[in-house]
Structure 1
Amino acid sequence: MLHKVLVSLFLSLGACAQTVYLAGDSTMAPGGGGSGTDGWGQYLGQYLTIPVVNDAIAGRSARSYTDEGRFTTLINTVKKGDFVIIEFGHNDGLSGAVDNGREDAFGDVYNTTATVTEADGSTLVIHTFTFYMQNAIVSLKAKGATVIISSQTPDNIWSGTTIAAGPRFVLYAQEVAATNAVTYVDHYDYVAQAYDKIGETAVTAWYPIDHTHTLPAGAQVVAQAFVRGLLCGSSTLKAKVNAAGNAVPNGCL
């Protein structure tokens, strides 16, 4: 009898266990952009008391993550009480005359569309970053998940002694979070804060292949910057930050 009670309790606790899921691009993903780089999502778990599942995939945008069914899989996986951190932007920009499968329609209005030309000459109607993000947020919230929208990370591009201002997708991420009443973490500016203090020479050493993908040492700093932004915000996930997370450097913006 006691054995059955303990088994039932264990199963109940397992069912209630919370998980953090990550959805994003190579700057978050395992393996980063290749050639020894890595995504910051690989280092987040060491700062939390609950497990992290990194579902970020290199080369994805809000649109392609949607079109490939990855948001659908995530929505079907999460349970009430889980957390989902979504961070896109690096691959969402316009691609030119031929659609690259990742670009979003220009602008931040939900119902704005654009018609793009495919490599075979056919055309396709696409939607805005806001459209793809908002659809995912609404469905995840309906499952009882807590959604956190994070702005994209900075590229290693400097303006004088500071990281250059962010692209339009930083603002888009903030707007879609506000519209859907979910937490926003200004990851761009928290990373910029850390980089500005470290300096361009040291930061550049973390970017061996381009200005977007970092070595593990850089990814660690980017993960710490996200934790700092989380601690300075209102998400209930900050209650799951452990002692190491509470000790990450820098302050609130």
Structure 2
Amino acid sequence: MLLRIVSICLLWVSTATSQTVYLAGDSTMAKGGGGAGTDGWGQYLGQYLSIPVVNMAIAGRSARSYTDEGRFTNLISAAKRGDFVVIEFGHNDGTSTVDNGREDAVGDGYDTTATVTEADGSKVVIHTFPFYIQNAVTALQAKGAIPIVSSQTPDNIWVGNTIGPGPRFVGYMATVGTRTGAVYVDHYNYVAQAYNKLGQTLVTSWYPLDHTHTAPAAANVVAEAFVRGLLCGSSALKAKVNAAGEAVPNGCL
């Protein structure tokens, strides 16, 4: 009996001390960002956590293309019980006149589909943004991993003196959290809070390529904003935020 208790305790310690955070997303999260001196915020998250971060974000991907390319399958295979997986898409998920392999069906219904036309004239049935994200979330939950769904980051687009409102994918990601029970981080609005405080002039200087891809300084601010969202929420990952993470600026929304 004593041996069995010791074995269970050792298993619990092993799981607790070997947790990993995996990241799934697009260029705003990925190493190297969109090129030309930009970088994704996922490269800066590790300094604020006490457990390792594996950045599996890939530039140019959407919820659909990350799924269709088997990248969610690979991530789900890699993640073990107790690991955290942060999922954040939206920048590449909009509609296209000729299907680009990334667009989703419009709407938040799990069963909603659309038929799109490929460049060669063939037809393909696609699903909604929540369909692709929910499937990944429930597969991770079935393994005992802990998914966190995070809304996309803002573009450097201002309305007056503040960052403009988020696109529909922000609401879609919140809906996924509600449907699956996964913790939702309103990353869009935590970043907007930080940017509004810093001001348009400084923030714009951190976008050397376009209005989407961040220079390293901004990528770090975006990572800080995610950590602030963790600290203000209910995710178990906030217990892994280190002293540097506890000190990130701004407050709860």
Q: Same fold (TM over 0.5)?
A: yes
1:140-187 Cα offsets, whole Å, 9 max, x none, are 000100010000000000010000000000000000111100100000
Look up the SS of the partner of 1:38 in the other structure: coil
Q: Is 2:155 the partner of 1:155?
A: yes
Q: 1:237: which partner in 2?
A: 237
SS of corresponding position for 1:165: coil
Measured in 2, the distance between the counterparts of 1:13 and 1:138 equals: 24
* In structure 2, distance between residues paired with 1:20 and 1:13: 16
The 5 A counterparts of 1:3-22 are: 13=14, 17-22=18-23
What is the identity percentage for the equivalent residue pairs of Structure 1 and Structure 2? 75
CA distance 1:187–1:177, change in 2 (3 Å): same
Structure 1 letter corresponding to 2:107:
G
Matched, 1:103 2:103: yes
Question: Amino acid of the residue matched to residue 243 of structure 1?
Answer: A
CA distance in 2, matches of 1:14, 1:162: 43
State the SS of the aligned residue for 1:149: strand
Q: 1:225 deviation in Å?
A: 0.3
Structure 1 segment 11-160 matched on structure 2, within 5 A: 13=14, 17-96=18-97, 98-160=98-160
Note the C-alpha offset of 1:74.
Answer: 0.6
Q: Distance in 2 between matches of 1:209 and 1:246?
A: 31
What is the DSSP-based 3-state SS (H/G/I as helix, E as strand, rest coil) of the residue aligned with 1:84?
Answer: strand
SS in 2 for 1:115: strand
C-alpha contact (below 8 Å) 2:23/2:57 kept by paired residues: yes
User: For the Cα contact (< 8 Å) 2:21–2:52, is it kept in 1?
Assistant: yes
Aligned to 1:184: 184
1:14 offset after TM fit, Å?
A: 7.7
- Code of the aligned partner of 1:212: T
Specify every segment of 5 or more residues in structure 1 that has no aligned partner in the other structure, as ranges: 1-8
1:113 CA drift (Å): 0.4
Runs of 4+ with deviation above 6 angstroms: none
Question: Take 1:82 and 1:29, find their aligned partners in 2: how far apart are those partners?
Answer: 19
- TM-score, scaled to structure 1: 0.94
- Equivalent in the alignment of 1:5: none
Whole-angstrom distance in 2 between the partners of 1:231 and 1:91:
28
CA-CA distance at 1:44 after TM superposition: 0.2
Residues 59-109 of structure 1: CA deviation (Å, up to 9, x unaligned) = 00000000000000011111000000000000001012x100000000000
Residues 15 and 81 in structure 2, CA contact (< 8 A), matched pair in contact too: no
Work out the number of aligned pairs and report it: 243
Provide, for residues 8-56 of structure 1, a one-character-per-residue CA deviation record: whole Å limited to 9, x for no partner.
Answer: x89x838961000000000000000000100000000000000000000
Deviations 1:222-245 (A, max 9, x none): 000000000000000000000000
Q: Distance in 2 between matches of 1:137 and 1:13?
A: 24
The CA distance in 2 between the partners of 1:249 and 1:130, in whole Å, is: 31
CA-based RMSD: 1.3
- SS of residue paired to 1:211: coil
In the superposition, the TM-score normalised over structure 2's length comes to 0.94
Aligned residue type for 1:31: G
